[in-house]
């Protein structure tokens, strides 16, 4: 298991012949940048051996050192370890030296007297670039091999969909990152299950702490996340840690982030940008030591256009973004979900698992499930609660799906607002031709079940039989 008290996941090697500078730089990075995965080297002759033994992703390198100069080391590192980023931190404030180092492949160049905040931001930028490079490599490898390294983590998410498998592969690649993860999808698609999988894949030692932020006003949001000091407000008789502190070393999951007020959005943006927060009533900041995952069913880009969601917060959140396809776009999952929820409902209700009519999956496949998997589960549980005979009744399903079909029989508004379904350069089909086409399409969708096809067409089964006899007189 990865020790997630370290940030970042890969090691950062500090190379300088002054041991005192190495100590002070280590303390600065940890206290002000939250960067703890640090290796130190005061003898430049040992650097290449360290790179062979440790998983180093970033080197902070001095130029003026005995034995092997920083310039020589930079050349060796870029030749033998081109995947490692190098930042020069030198006592020399020479433009020529900086240009030469950048031409040799250094990621950045800082003078030792540079402003502390600017230095830390430059190092964090290099860390983010290195993380993205590693994630892209891992993702590409998984897609090429079409494999999952930890398929058991996704067992609670019932799916055989290729779209969902791509989501799982992406999640495996980005789960170890410390950058925020944005999970988008309609209500009932399983965003919380995916957040749990991301936490499990990250191997973080701390807990997964979840909170639904929808409807929280600014004060409650701040108190919930940041906590407060004793006497911060009326009734605050003792200090209380916020959820950020509870999630230390783990994951903080904020659900329904699209419903946050603008004032709370500003607080969240500062938390993500600065990596620190102030408990209510305190003037001393604390560092966040948890990975942040957020989820929403809202279209955040549309919310930005409306002015109700900050653009800068959106771009900060979507460093890693996952969209869960709705159930209507992965109907191949319906048989699996039907079996799973029937077994689950039977266990909870202490009933035997019933068999079901073969036309039930066909009926379900002709429904769009606006409530997604949550709605399907509720339908199955409702049907089993009323179940009395050996075969599961379809009545519960027909009542809900039948209403949906009736509501969509004549979608006048959609027809009025949509482009023509016919090619203007071709002659219109006759009514008889259209009648035949509709019947054939309904039978295809109903898997040749005439009762269901008639329901889809909004006619009785005898009326459908008459049309079939006219269309297929020899049968």
332-348 confidence digits (pLDDT tens): 999 999 999 999 999 99
Please report the pLDDT score of residue 168 as a whole number. Answer: 94
Mean pLDDT of the 133-142 span: 80
Residues 228 and 268: beta-carbon distance below 8 Å: no
Q: How far is 281 from 408, CA to CA, in rounded Å? A: 56
* pLDDT digit string, tens, across residues 273-284: 888 899 999 888
Residues sharing a CB contact under 8 Å with residue 327, sequence separation 6 or more, in sequence order: 188, 189, 333, 334, 369, 372, 373, 376
- For residues 70 and 409, the model is more confident at 70
Mean pLDDT of the 38-59 span: 95
Tell me the two tokens of residue 64: 């003026």
Reply yes or no on whether the pLDDT at 382 is more than 90. yes
Phi, psi of 458 (to 5 degrees): 75, 25
Residues sharing a CB contact under 8 Å with residue 138, sequence separation 6 or more, in sequence order: 172, 173
Local confidence band at 422 (pLDDT 50, 70, 90 cut-offs): low
Reply yes or no on whether the pLDDT at 41 is more than 90. yes
Please report the pLDDT score of residue 375 as a whole number. Answer: 94
Please report the pLDDT score of residue 459 as a whole number. Answer: 83
Reply yes or no on whether the pLDDT at 411 is more than 50. no
Mean pLDDT of the 469-475 span: 67
3-state SS string over 106-125?
CCEEEECCCCHHHHHHHHHH
Reply yes or no on whether the pLDDT at 21 is more than 90. yes
Local confidence band at 1 (pLDDT 50, 70, 90 cut-offs): very low
- For residues 231 and 418, the model is more confident at 231
Through-space distance between the first and last CA atoms of the chain, rounded to whole angstroms? 66
Q: Which residues pair with 61 in a beta bridge?
A: 15, 88
Q: Give percent of the chain above pLDDT 70.
A: 93
| DSSP helix/strand/coil, 1 | coil
Burial class (CB in 10 A: 0-12, 13-18, 19+), 182: buried
Mean pLDDT of the 157-169 span: 94
Q: Give percent of the chain above pLDDT 90.
A: 58
- For residues 392 and 438, the model is more confident at 392
Reply yes or no on whether the pLDDT at 126 is more than 60. yes
- Alpha helices (H) in 203-324, listed in sequence order: 218-226, 243-246, 262-274, 300-306, 311-317
Q: How far is CA 198 from the centre of its chain?
A: 8
From 276, 271, 272, 260, select the one nearest 310 (Cα to Cα).
Answer: 260
3-state SS string over 369-384?
CCCHHHHHHHHHHHHH
Burial class (CB in 10 A: 0-12, 13-18, 19+), 234: exposed
Local confidence band at 176 (pLDDT 50, 70, 90 cut-offs): confident
Please report the pLDDT score of residue 167 as a whole number. Answer: 94
Residues 336 and 190: beta-carbon distance below 8 Å: no
* pLDDT digit string, tens, across residues 178-200: 889 999 999 999 999 999 999 99
* pLDDT digit string, tens, across residues 227-273: 999 888 888 888 999 999 999 999 999 999 999 999 999 999 999 98
Whether the CA torsion 270, 180, 25, 62 is positive or negative: it is negative
Please report the pLDDT score of residue 230 as a whole number. Answer: 87
183: number of CA atoms within 13 Å, CB side? Answer: 30
Residues 105 and 88: beta-carbon distance below 8 Å: no
Average pLDDT, the chain: 87
Phi, psi of 159 (to 5 degrees): -165, 145
Q: How far is CA 224 from the centre of its chain?
A: 23
Query: Sheet holding 181-184: strands in order across?
Result: 208-212, 251-255, 291-296, 181-184, 320-323
- For residues 442 and 303, the model is more confident at 303
């Amino acid at each position: 298991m990865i020790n997630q008290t370290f940030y970042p996941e890969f090691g950062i090697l500090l190379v300088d012949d002054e041991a005192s500078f190495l100590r002070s730089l280590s303390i600065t990075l940890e206290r002000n940048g939250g960067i703890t995965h640090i290796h130190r080297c005061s003898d430049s002759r040992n650097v290449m051996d360290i790179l062979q033994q440790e998983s180093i992703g970033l080197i902070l390198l001095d130029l003026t050192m005995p034995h092997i100069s920083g310039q020589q080391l930079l050349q060796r590192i870029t030749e033998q370890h081109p995947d490692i980023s190098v930042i020069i931190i030198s006592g020399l404030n020479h433009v020529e030296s900086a240009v030469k180092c950048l031409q040799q492949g250094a990621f950045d160049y800082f003078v030792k007297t540079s402003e502390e905040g600017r230095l830390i931001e430059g190092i964090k930028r290099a860390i983010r670039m290195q993380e993205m490079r590693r994630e892209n490599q891992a993702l590409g490898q998984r897609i090429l091999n079409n494999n999952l390294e930890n398929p058991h983590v996704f067992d609670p998410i019932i799916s055989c969909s290729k779209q969902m498998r791509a989501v799982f592969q992406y999640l495996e690649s980005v789960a170890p990152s410390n950058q925020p993860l944005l999970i988008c999808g309609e209500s009932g698609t399983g965003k919380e299950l995916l957040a749990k999988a991301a936490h499990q894949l990250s191997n973080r030692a701390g807990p997964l702490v979840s909170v639904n932020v929808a409807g929280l006003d600014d004060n409650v949001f701040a108190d919930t996340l940041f906590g407060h000091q004793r006497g911060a407000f009326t009734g605050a008789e003792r200090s209380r840690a916020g959820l950020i502190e509870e999630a230390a070393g783990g994951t903080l999951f904020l659900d329904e982030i699209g419903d946050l007020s603008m004032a709370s959005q500003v607080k969240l943006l500062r938390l993500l940008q600065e990596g620190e927060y102030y408990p209510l009533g305190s003037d001393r900041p604390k560092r966040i030591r948890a990975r942040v995952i957020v989820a929403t069913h809202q279209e955040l880009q549309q919310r930005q256009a409306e002015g109700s969601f900050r653009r800068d917060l959106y771009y900060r959140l979507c460093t890693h973004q996952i969209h869960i396809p709705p159930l209507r776009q992965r109907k191949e999952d319906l048989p699996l979900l039907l079996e799973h929820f029937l077994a689950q409902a039977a266990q909870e209700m202490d009933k035997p698992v019933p068999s079901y009519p073969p036309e039930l999956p066909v009926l379900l496949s002709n429904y769009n499930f606006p409530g997604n998997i949550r709605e399907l589960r509720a339908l199955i549980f409702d049907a089993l609660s009323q179940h009395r005979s050996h075969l599961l009744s379809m009545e519960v399903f027909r009542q809900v799906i039948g209403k949906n079909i009736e509501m969509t029989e004549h979608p006048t508004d959609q027809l009025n607002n949509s482009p023509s379904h016919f090619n203007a350069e071709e002659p219109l089909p006759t009514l008889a031709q259209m009648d035949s086409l509709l019947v054939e399409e309904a039978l295809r969708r109903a898997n040749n079940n005439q009762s269901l096809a008639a329901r889809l067409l909004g006619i009785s089964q005898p009326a459908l039989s008459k049309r079939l006899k006219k269309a297929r007189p020899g049968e």
